[in-house]
Amino acid sequence: MDGKREAESESHELKGNAIGLGRIVFFVIAAAAPLTGTLGAIPIAIGLGNGAGAPIAFVAAGLLLTLFSVGYGRMAVRVRNAGAFYAYVARGLGQPAGIGAAAVAILSYLALQIALYGLFGFFCGLTFDPLIGRSPGWIVYALAALVVVHLLGRRGVEVNGALLGILMIVESAIVLVLAGTIVLSGGGPDGLTLAPFEPSRLLAPGAGIALIFALACFVGFEATAIYAEEARDPQRTVPRATYLAVAAIALFFAFVAWAIVCAHGLSAAQGAAQADPGAFWFAISDRLLGAGYSNAMSVLLLGSTFASILAFHNMIARYLYALGREGVLWRALGRTDPVHRSPRIAGAVQSVGALVAILPCAVSGADPYAVVFGWGGALGTIGIIALQLLICIAIIAFFRREPEGESPWAVLIAPALSAIGLGLILSLALRNLSVLSGTDSPWLWALPCFQLLLFGGGMLLGRRRPAYGDPNGFPIADRNTIGAA
């Protein structure tokens, strides 16, 4: 019995066959935070972007990431690893580049999570401070969320998937009901028109900014591959989940953006978004469904933000787990909980890392919305877009060496086209960092420079320790999947 307990306590494997297609999609869409993106990103895409043409920007972003998903899905069939970006770049461009990519991925997801902690604390203050008659500060709400996220993270993917599924359905439903009401009411001054989907609007002034915020709403969809080791039939589930997640996110945001543009009117939408982005949605919901509905949206915004924080916690924990299991980082990170088979130590380290990042923000008096959310969101978004571009290059390199009957479309043409598109959007994001972050600080250029330094540091670490896992230096989890059809 003691021997069995000892073996269980030293478990290094995640729980296989634990989640199916639906729960993986829930994890991914929860990270995209439908309600947070609706109330936050869409008004900015309309107000600072191409106005009434914002809906076509979401369609374009969806098509671009569908192209990305073609090669990404083929890579998922060949390489099954919880550290997806790390493993894919390592297989395509070498272990040093893979470790550099892992460092950027962890930083980017952590930055996005910290941004959301700031946003969660900010909105909790707006919601609960008037009720309790005092303001404990945003950090109190953020720390309470951190504790709950940590405890849920230890429970494993089944419980997390069920909770995220409920939150995702509820938050999506409240937006879709409002959008549906707009449609049933016949829209606004111009009625229901398909003019916002005219392709020419992608050439209008501000279209680049709209594309940046549209693409930001998809951040986290690539996490389908992170759960490959825990998925049922991962060779089919992961590619399908990737396509389904991209399609669902694109259709959702394109539809609700179109509905709100129609509600305000083609000529008035941009002005309304610029004048008061916070009231851009609530003015319509108050008019069509009443103030009570608007209040419900405000409360559910907290649930949407919390769900996204939890999704990023799971992503980061699995990256740390994969890197620990293969000896890149502290090996204890590769241990799993003996009962739930979740990355227990990696999850604890992730929570401590979040705490270490949040506390200085609070001590320094940083504004939770303008600074914590703005800077964290910008740092994370540019990092993920850059990694997606790097993945495209890694996919092409990998399949040039190991084509094994793959079609040129899947492993060369589609990745190359998506690399071009992602490169253009990354360039736009770097040129518009002030818009992406919500500040015009001269220190903004430190964000991409820090990402580059981190990538370089990871590569140096990889060159000093070139082989991890098996004798060829490939990730351990790939042993039984490399070469699988």
CATH code, domain carrying 372:
1.20.1740.10
Please answer whether residues 145 and 117 qualify as being in contact, where contact means their C-beta atoms are separated by less than 8 angstroms.
yes
3-state DSSP helix/strand/coil % of the chain, to nearest 5: 80, 0, 20
Is 109 domain-assigned? yes
Which letter does DSSP use for residue 443 in this model?
G
Is 216 domain-assigned? yes
Is 88 domain-assigned? yes
Scored b (16 or more CB within 10 A) or e, 351-384 reads bebbeebbeebbeeebebbebbbbbbbbbbbbbb
- Unique residue bearing structure tokens 């916002």: 196
Coil vs helix vs strand at 188: strand
CA atoms lying within 13 Å on the CB side of residue 189: 7
Residue 323 parent element (H or E): helix 291-325
Is 296 domain-assigned? yes
- Position 483 scores a pLDDT of 33
In 3D, which of 480, 391, 333 has the Cα closest to residue 87?
Answer: 391
- Position 11 scores a pLDDT of 59
DSSP sequence for 195-233: GGG-GGGGGSTTHHHHHHHHHHTTTTGGGGGGGGGGBSS
Q: Is the dihedral of CA 117, 120, 123, 127 positive or negative?
A: negative
Please answer whether residues 89 and 288 qualify as being in contact, where contact means their C-beta atoms are separated by less than 8 angstroms.
no
Distance between CA 332 and CA 329 in Å, rounded? 9
Is 400 domain-assigned? yes
In 3D, which of 27, 455, 407 has the Cα closest to residue 238?
Answer: 27
- Residue 260 to residues 39, 202, 248, 328, Cα–Cα distance (Å): 11, 18, 18, 48
Distance between CA 443 and CA 440 in Å, rounded? 9
In which domain, by residue range, is 103 found?
A: 21-470
Residues 54, 59, 64, CA angle at the centre, nearest 5°? 120
Please answer whether residues 430 and 220 qualify as being in contact, where contact means their C-beta atoms are separated by less than 8 angstroms.
no
Is 127 domain-assigned? yes
Sorted by sequence, the CB contacts under 8 Å of residue 349 that are 6+ apart come out as: 317, 320, 333
DSSP sequence for 114-173: HHHHHHHHHHHHHHHHHHHTS---HHHHHHHHHHHHHHHHHT-HHHHHHHHHHHHHHHHH
Scored b (16 or more CB within 10 A) or e, 463-481 reads eeeeebbeeebbbbbbeeb
Q: Where are the alpha helices (DSSP H) in 326-373?
A: 344-363
Distance between CA 214 and CA 209 in Å, rounded? 9
Distance between CA 48 and CA 29 in Å, rounded? 25
- Position 113 scores a pLDDT of 95
In 3D, which of 155, 146, 128 has the Cα closest to residue 306?
Answer: 146
φ, ψ (nearest 5 deg) of residue 188: -110, -140
Which amino acid is it at 429?
A
> What's the pTM value of the predicted model, to 2 decimals?
0.88
Is 2 domain-assigned? no
Distance between CA 129 and CA 125 in Å, rounded? 5
Per-residue pLDDT of the chain (485 residues; tens, 9 = 90+): 444 444 444 556 666 666 788 778 877 887 788 998 999 899 999 999 999 999 999 999 999 999 999 999 899 888 877 677 888 999 999 989 999 999 999 999 999 999 999 999 999 998 898 888 888 999 999 999 999 999 988 876 666 667 777 888 899 999 999 999 999 999 899 999 999 999 999 999 899 999 999 999 998 787 788 777 777 887 888 888 889 999 999 999 999 999 999 999 999 999 999 998 888 999 999 999 999 999 999 889 998 899 889 889 988 998 898 888 878 888 888 888 777 677 889 999 999 999 999 999 999 998 998 889 989 999 999 999 999 999 999 999 999 998 888 899 999 999 999 999 999 999 999 999 999 888 888 888 899 999 999 999 989 887 766 444 443 344 444 443 433 33
In 3D, which of 255, 343, 244 has the Cα closest to residue 28?
Answer: 244
Assigned token pair, 245 = 């997640």
Is 46 domain-assigned? yes
Q: What's the structural domain count of the chain?
A: 1
